[in-house]
Amino acid sequence: MIGVVYLGSNPKTQERLKYIPGQLVRMTSIYKDAAQICTPHVANEHFIVFFERNVRNEDITAITYLKKKSRSVYIILMTDPMTDEERDVYMKCGINDTIGREATVTELNKKIQFISDRESILFDDERPKYHILKFKIPVWKRLFDIVFSILAIIVTSPIFILTAIAIRLESKGPIMFKSKRVGTNYAIFDFLKFRSMYVDAEQRLQELSKEHNQYAAHEQEEHKTIVAPLGDQAEQAMFDMGMESEMMISDEEIMLVGDDFVVAESDFSKQKEEENDNAFIKIENDPRVTKVGRFIRKYSIDELPQLFNILKGDMSVVGNRPLPLYEAEKLTADKSIDRFMAPAGLTGLWQVEERGKGGVMSAEERKQLDITYGQTYNFMLDMKIILRTFFAFKQKENV
């Protein structure tokens, strides 16, 4: 059950709210009265408050008071376009959403319907508190990692020295390359590799990923987004682009309205799904790689510094590959979380399944292999992966 309250003194807004179909909007200009109205009298009673923006300090006092007095209130700030600083201030004091000060009856009603349809999510004040599950590496696996990494560093120390000299002789820049990676439990750490690219490699990634990314199934289609202020100007922009008739035909379609855009919910969801499907970036025939870099990549020598990550505890010998931030941020949906509830590793299931064969793997196949490892890993599986890694370390693909 949702009630609607208007807190403000704008006669035009009050007039429009009277015509919301099926809603009796209670109105007041005193925030303490609004807080009293928004006090639930029965179970699962919730309130939407349209809050007319006024003087900032007074608004902050009123919004803070409303939030303190009622957990069952959803505050929508009615405002003109704001600066980033202003938006940040209002969000911190407790607003949940914004809408244009001159929003039409249709826009106001759609906002109410949008919130009402999601009442169980937005107002779930009866939800019990859950403990956040975190992966904890088993003792046997951590002990194996320490022993293995120490022995491997000692054995490969001549390779470390020769590789460092070769990198320094070929090109300017640091011998080691550090990048922020996301591992177990979404923890961020400094991931170590021998530098195999020229020093401006990161700046060139964006232009290369669109053309050469082997995980990208297709170019994302352009989505019809209205870049315009809210209210009448947004409606006019939609009319000019031929979207008014679409909305009139399909009253079921929900339009997502921001401070400077209007977009159909279905289009927005499709765009986010495509971004998540193409989360991984893998460049074929990467022109950013040096000659020494190609050699050490071919034989996986560039990965050796990660032995220090293993010794430190950032990674394990076997696990799911830690991802760059721009990839990991696209894998926060429920179906992808399990890959981070497992060790981050130097080698793993997907490397030995496909990488050694020189096959091209889709992003979905890789995610599923990561999830499978996280759900089934054990000592014997780790030993099998390590043995198979020695046969797969010489890459047959130029990536």
pLDDT in tens, 331-356: 777 677 888 888 999 998 888 886 54
What's the confidence (pLDDT) of residue 351?
A: 80
- CA distances to 125, 301, 392 from 297, rounded to whole Å, are 53, 6, 12
What's the confidence (pLDDT) of residue 78?
A: 94
Q: Is the pLDDT of residue 22 over 70?
A: yes
Greater pLDDT, 250 or 94? 94
Whole-number average pLDDT of the chain: 79
Q: The tokens of 14 are what? A: 């009050």
Q: The tokens of 317 are what? A: 């010998």
What confidence tier does 200 reach under pLDDT thresholds 50, 70, 90?
low
Angstrom distance (rounded) from CA 304 to CA 222:
42
Q: Is the pLDDT of residue 208 over 70?
A: no
What's the confidence (pLDDT) of residue 350?
A: 82
Angstrom distance (rounded) from CA 389 to CA 383:
10
Inter-residue contact 399 to 286 (CB < 8 Å)? yes
Tens digit of pLDDT for each residue in 309-325? 999 999 999 999 898 88
Averaged pLDDT, 154-181: 92
Averaged pLDDT, 7-21: 92
What's the confidence (pLDDT) of residue 225?
A: 43
What confidence tier does 74 reach under pLDDT thresholds 50, 70, 90?
very high
Tens digit of pLDDT for each residue in 242-286? 444 333 334 455 555 444 445 565 665 666 555 555 555 555 566
Q: The tokens of 265 are what? A: 């919910």
Tell me which residue of 91, 64, 71, 67 sits closest to 79, measured CA to CA: 91
Q: Which residue has the tokens 């979207």?
A: 243
What's the confidence (pLDDT) of residue 275?
A: 53
